[in-house]
Amino acid sequence: MGRRLRVDKREYHLPNGTHVEKVAVHPGNAVAILPFRADGACYLIRQYRFVIGDYILEAPAGTLNPGEGPLDAARRELIEETGFQAETFIPRGSIYTTPGFSDEIIHLYEAHGLTPSCLYQKDEDEIIELVRVEREDLPDMIGDGRICDAKTISIICRCIGASR
């Protein structure tokens, strides 16, 4: 179907004995990273998403390459989307994005010790702007809808909640 997307329609056997025919989407797994600066602020990206025809604020994120582990993907994606590498990555669990029809898992990481990377090269098919956000502003930005991306809301809750 695409470079990484597979869709299938098959019969599933439910725990109650019912048999149903359903469509399942298998996009592969991904990572999302919330990178924190030394001053406590963090970086989000403002990215154009063609499917919704608009820009949204989100955590740097991306898909795992074949044979790549989540931590290696997080290191690579942080550089690709922000231009920074991190000294420390703290795993913050994982989430299912849309378990009603997809098996995608996004692994969440908090990153610290940011320094500019000499490996930074912007992808031509992405329109991204780096946005500095104060840590204390994140809950209000979720509450008022400025942050509406599910993976970003999840990683903010995991990182902010973990530090309280």
The catalytic site residues sit at 124
Task: Give 157's contacts (C-beta < 8 A, 6+ positions apart).
Answer: none
- Longest CA pairwise span in the chain (Å): 56
Degrees, nearest 5: CA angle 148-151-154: 90
What is residue 71's three-state secondary structure? Answer: helix
- By CB atoms closer than 10 A (0-12, 13-18, 19+), residue 160 is middle
